[in-house]
Amino acid sequence: MFPQPFATLKLNEKGKFIADAYRQIREEQELDYDPSLEELDGGRLLRGARALVFASRSKISGDKVVKYPNDGKSILRTLKQDMTTDERVELLQNAMMKMFDTVIENRKQIGSLVGITAASALLSERSTKQLTKLMRTSLRGK
C-alpha cells in the first residue's frame, strides 16, 4: 500500500500539522513508537516560531529600508533657490538623518536574516537526527 499524498494532510484547528503528519507517516510506515521523539516536537516548534519571528522583523526592517530613503528624497525635493543657508542646512541634515536610519535598519534586517538562518539550521539538524533515529528503530524491528 502506498502512503497518501501530502496534499490530503489537513491543518487542524490547533496548528499541529507537523505532529499529525509525523504520526500519520509513522503509522503508515508501521514504525516503532519512540516516546523520546515526541518530546522533541516542542523544541522544534519553538525553533520554527523563532524563525518566523526573525522573518517578521526582517520584513519590517526591509520596509523601513525602502521608506526612509524615499522620505529623504522627499525632503531634498523641498529645497528651493530662495531658501537661506540655514534652512538648506537643516533640510540636508534631515535628509542625512533619514539615510543614517536606513543604514541602521539595513543592519537590523541582516541580523534578522542571520537569526532565520541559525534557527533553520537548528531545525534541520534536529530533523536529521529524528530521521536517523527513526531509521535505526525501524531497522532493529525487522
SS3 4: coil
Under the banding of pLDDT at 50, 70 and 90, the label for residue 7 is very low
Residue 87 Cα distances to 12, 68, 83, angstroms: 60, 21, 6
- Answer yes or no: pTM beyond 0.95: no
How confident is the model at residue 4, as a pLDDT? Answer: 44
Smallest CA-to-CA distance from 120 within 68, 30, 22, 52 is with 52
Euclidean distance between CA atoms 27 and 30, whole angstroms: 5
pLDDT in tens, 40-49: 566 667 777 8
pLDDT tens by residue, 75-123: 999 999 999 999 999 999 999 999 999 999 999 999 999 988 888 877 7
pLDDT tens-digit profile of 28-75?
555 555 555 555 566 667 777 888 888 888 999 999 999 999 999 999
What's the grid cell of residue 42? 516542542
